[in-house]
Amino acid sequence: MNRIKSKIRVGILGCGAIGSRIARSIKSECDEQAWVTGLFDINPAKSERLAKFLPYSKNIIRNSYQELLAVSDLIVEAVNAPDTHVLVRQALLSNKDILIMSVGKFIDGESILRLAQKRGVRLLIPSGAIAGIDAIKAAALGKITQITLTTRKPIYGFADNAYVQAKRINLSHIKKETILFDGKVREAVKCFPQNINVAATIALASGAKDRLRIRISTSPEFKVNSHEIEVIGEFGRLLTKTENVVCPDNPKTSYLAVLSAIQTLKQFFQGVKLGT
């Protein structure tokens, strides 16, 4: 029992596909350093379903967010709700470390970063479905003159997009690579909310969101989601490209984004951080 008490207590906020995979991975990847002590979801059925897959599932379902905070040292946020910003703030004010999956909610997240620093708690933001965040953070110590994110997605990925519909773009008529959007990150957030996690991560890492340009394109030839980043600055030039397969549990999420979160937690629990 003493060994268990020495572990980091993890609360899962949001027990959908992403939260569930992270919770199960804590057992398989971080069993000696951490354990899940609480589950909370506004849909109790999701918490109950996840609890069945955890070896210590007895009495870990919590009836409120406050109950979850009370039994946790670290919160894994995986809800992407309208009040995500409030939930994260509550965790920080309760002096809980927190890993954020819905980073897109924090495109202007400087206040949350300052609060974490003030409270002396750790705010973990995984790299997600892109490569190069370590280099972008380093480059940000000098001057970044240009930064561009080009996202390419299959045509079906835009079928229900309000911006595409408002522009009366007929997706069935597209025969080659076509740029659907080319503009600033804040406008991209409004027009293509499904891409905001990647854009927000780059914005926060670079500290140059006012210079961040977003291009979004589609083509019948595209079979996977890809993200290409170009950064030019005093350090030189960076170019990365990631082609993502979808998460087996959630087709709306890139598998790499979930793996990135698990690796972030693993390094945090073990106290070893590789890369910048």
- Same domain flag for 155 and 199: yes
Q: Does 195 map to a domain?
A: yes
Q: Does 10 map to a domain?
A: yes
Domain holding 180, by residue range, is 133-244
- Same domain flag for 7 and 70: yes
Q: What's CA 244's distance to the chain center, in Å?
A: 14
- Same domain flag for 114 and 140: no
- Same domain flag for 11 and 118: yes
pLDDT at 2: 45
Higher-pLDDT residue of 68 and 248 is 68
pLDDT band at residue 5, thresholds of 50, 70 and 90?
A: low
Tens digits of per-residue pLDDT, 127-141? 999 999 999 999 999
pLDDT at 57: 61
- Same domain flag for 166 and 117: no
Q: Does 250 map to a domain?
A: no
CATH of the domain at 227: 3.30.360.10
- Same domain flag for 92 and 153: no
> Annotated catalytic, 227?
yes
- Same domain flag for 142 and 73: no
Reported pTM: 0.91
Tens digits of per-residue pLDDT, 223-268? 999 999 999 999 999 999 999 998 888 777 899 999 999 999 999 9
pLDDT band at residue 1, thresholds of 50, 70 and 90?
A: very low
- Same domain flag for 30 and 121: yes
Percent of the chain whose pLDDT exceeds 90: 79
Q: Does 249 map to a domain?
A: no
Q: Which of 245, 16, 221 is nearest to 129 (CA)?
A: 245
- Same domain flag for 262 and 189: no
Q: What does the mean pLDDT of the chain come to? A: 92
Q: Does 211 map to a domain?
A: yes
Catalytic residue among 96, 105, 152, 227: 227
Tokens of 185: 């990150």
Q: Does 49 map to a domain?
A: yes
- Same domain flag for 184 and 233: yes
Among 53-57, 190-194, 269-273, name the one with the lowest average pLDDT.
Answer: 53-57
CATH of the domain at 113: 3.40.50.720
Q: Give pairs for 169-175: CB < 8 Å, separation 24+.
A: 171/218, 174/218, 174/219, 174/220, 175/220
* Secondary-structure percent of the chain, ordered helix, strand, coil, rounded to 5: 40, 25, 30
pLDDT at 81: 85
How many domains are contained in the chain?
A: 2
Tens digits of per-residue pLDDT, 201-219? 999 999 999 999 999 999 9
Tens digits of per-residue pLDDT, 215-228? 999 999 999 999 99
- Same domain flag for 115 and 9: yes
User: What average pLDDT does the segment 178-197 reach?
Assistant: 88
Buried b (16+ CB within 10 A) or exposed e, 174-195: beeeeebbeeebbebbebbebb
